[in-house]
Amino acid sequence: MNGDAVSDALLALVAGLVAWRLLACHPTAALGGALVAVAAAIGTLAFLGVGWAHGGLHHAAAVIAGCAGLPLLAVGLRWPDSAVATRLPAAVALLAASVLLAVGLVIVLRWAPWSQALPLSSALLLALAGLRSHRRLVVVGALTLVVAFVMFASGWTVPRLSIVQQLHLLTAAGLGLVGIGATTARGHRRHAHAVGGMKG
């Protein structure tokens, strides 16, 4: 297995675990994490040479993860008591709008800056969420995501890692820290009322 596939598989695993941990108290954020996990799983298959996962599907999944998944994660954690965070129709509406905007701007119009600006903005929003809720791990995880996206956009890499591997590994680390920080006992108690299932 090549390094790109290994790093993407790790990202898929971490994002999936984060989504599972968030599901009980932050369902909308969990949906965002799940989108990242699915995109990383498709990427793993693409890097392994699976034909149907190559090209357009991998690119579309990555765009949706960055431009819809990460914003859902950030909004769900920043405003955990909002309608978007607790009501399924509102979450689906935000997801649909984010996907349509991402597909239109990045895939159809090929406006790449959107696919860089939105993940970075989501990471900064996560940092703000961590600061306001006094969750240090969320802040550290969010800043790790900021570093990941800035390094990827600038093309700067550390030795022995490709730019793709570096992005995968830093994103996995950042999401893992955010997931752990957001699912402490304090957070579960604070938002237990929001779950019991998302309101229809």
* pLDDT top residue among 51 and 45: 45
pLDDT tier at 61, thresholds 50, 70, 90: very high
Q: Say how many domains are in the chain.
A: 1
Helix, strand, or coil here: 199? strand
Q: Is residue 199 part of a domain?
A: no
Q: Which domain holds residue 94?
A: 3-194
Q: Over the chain, what is the mean pLDDT?
A: 89
Q: Is residue 200 part of a domain?
A: no
The answer, yes or no, to whether residue 181 has pLDDT greater than 90, is yes
Q: Is residue 137 part of a domain?
A: yes
Q: Is residue 169 part of a domain?
A: yes
Q: Is residue 92 part of a domain?
A: yes
Q: Are 15 and 50 in contact (CB under 8 A)?
A: no
pTM greater than the 0.85 cutoff: yes
User: Model confidence over 127-166: pLDDT tens digits?
Assistant: 999 999 999 999 999 999 999 999 999 999 998 899 999 9
Alpha carbons 188 and 28: distance in angstroms, whole number = 15
pLDDT for position 198: 53
Q: Are 39 and 46 in contact (CB under 8 A)?
A: no
189 CB-contact burial (10 Å; exposed 0-12 / middle 13-18 / buried 19+): exposed
Alpha carbons 180 and 174: distance in angstroms, whole number = 10
Q: Which of 145, 163, 165 is nearest to 154 (CA)?
A: 163
User: What's the token pair of residue 135?
Assistant: 């969750």
Q: Is residue 179 part of a domain?
A: yes
